[in-house]
Amino acid sequence: MPPALARHALVTAAWDGLDPEQVWDAHAHLLGTGDSSSGIVVNPEMDSLLNPASYARRLFFLNAGCAYDVPGGSVDRAYVRRMLNLMSGMRRGVKLLLFAFERAYGEDGKRQDALTSFHVPDGYARQIAREHPRYFEWVASIHPYRADCVTALQEAKRDGARAVKWLPGAMGMDPASPRCDRFYAAAARLDLPIISHAGLERAVLGTDTQDYGNPLRLRRALDAGVRVVVAHCASMGQDIDLDKGPNGPVVDSFVLFSRLFEEKRYEKKLFADISAMTQVNRAGPALAKVIEREEWHPRLLNGSDYPLPGVMPIFSVDYLVSLKLVRESAAPVLKEIRAHNPLLFDFVLKRHLRSNGKTLAKSVFETRPFFAMLS
């Protein structure tokens, strides 16, 4: 990035009042194709033009991470190199939490490889974090239907995992199922939070069990004493209002999340991340509310959802300006930052969000204390 841009007043102002050592990006994806010893597995459908939607998703992700079509090299290694390059443009002390990604499993506890879009092993996420401790921490991904799920969770805790990542609608896990109880008991005992996607999922389909993303299904984990982070604040899609019965009305997922978030009994267990909320398909009333509800801020965590900030069609600074969430004068600089460093773009953009005169508190960005709660 040009030095003048790196020193721009907009960038400098974004760091005002923050301790970079406390700034951990709480939502980043570790991807690749498995062309190294990573153990990453990609569903063959994502490599075939006979499945254009899946093929396009793969290209979007890898292209956003500047790791597509690497001549004579490894896509896995190129993806990590790109992250290291972007992190060098952040202040010293900032870290990314790299997510592993679990396979799909069935009700019988058996792997469903045909329904698994891709798999990023815990061991690979752990390895990359250990190789680059200045820049990365790691997050495990463990399916609660696995026969060995508790053992895997204990090993992840021992090896320094900061949390567990779930994508219920793609992995085929129902967070409200009794099958999860032994996993919840262990997660509560080990104090390992679960970062779970909620609301509609479009990026990774897998088992495509969208109902499992209903934020109300996370009550079972909360009632078991698990710290839960609702990814994206469930800011896209609609779900059944299960509080009114299995045939309750269909309402916005964000409405259900908001109700859950405001329940006093969950104040010390329920959290949320704001990753992806500046995308065109999420920005709007939900983002404005998150900015304006200052009492929510101590329980919100910032994450970039990397590599998605590098996917050009799903972000629009001009759209955020039209919503009056970003000053028009900031738009040209933000666009230029994005062309060079999508991680820095995501951070600076969110630091300059405004709604009715309010901004996101610095605690939303200083996320390290949340993960440092681990005993």
| DSSP-assigned letters across all residues of 74-106 | -HHHHHHHHHHHHHTTSPTT-EEEEEPBPPPB-
Q: State the CB neighbour count (10 A cutoff) for residue 3.
A: 7
pLDDT of residue 149: 98
Tokens of 45: 């459908």
Superfamily of the domain at 3-372 = Metal-dependent hydrolases (3.20.20.140)
Q: How far apart are CA 49 and CA 227, in angstroms?
A: 41
Please give the sequence-ordered ranges of beta strands (E in DSSP) within the chain, or none if there are none. Answer: 24-29, 41-42, 95-99, 118-119, 136-139, 164-166, 194-197, 228-231, 238-240, 250-252, 270-273, 300-301
**Closest C-alpha among 308, 316, 105 to residue 212:** 105
What is the model's pLDDT at position 51?
Answer: 45
Phi, psi of 300 (to 5 degrees): -105, 145
Other beta carbons within 10 Å of 46: 20
Q: Are strands 41-42 and 136-139 parallel, antiparallel or unpaired?
A: unpaired
Half-sphere exposure for 114 (CA within 13 Å, toward CB):
1
Interatomic CA distance for residues 132 and 82, integer angstroms: 13
Contact 141, 124 (CB under 8 A): no
| pTM, two decimal places | 0.92
The whole-number pLDDT of residue 375 equals 44
What are the sequence ranges of the domains in the chain? 3-372
**DSSP, residue by residue, 14-79:** HHTT--GGG-EEEEEE----S-SSS--EE-GGGG-TTSHHHHHHHHHHHHHTT-SS-TTS-HHHHH
Report the sign of the C-alpha dihedral through residues 119, 180, 252, 24, in that order: negative
Residue segments in the chain with a per-residue pLDDT below the cut of 50 = 48-53, 55-56, 65, 67, 375
Q: How far apart, in whole angstroms, are the C-alpha atoms of residue 108 and residue 24?
A: 37
Distance between CA 334 and CA 26 in Å, rounded? 21
Q: What is the pLDDT of residue 52?
A: 41
The answer to whether 11 and 259 are in contact (CB under 8 A) is no
At 202 the pLDDT is 67
Name the nearest CA neighbour of 275 among 340, 170, 350, 344: 350
Rounded to the nearest 5°, which phi and psi values hold at 251?
-135, 170
DSSP state for residue 353 in the 8-state scheme: -
Q: Would you give the distance in Å from CA 26 to the centre of its chain?
A: 7
Please, what is the Cα angle at 360 between 358 and 362, to 5 degrees? 130
Contact 120, 158 (CB under 8 A): no
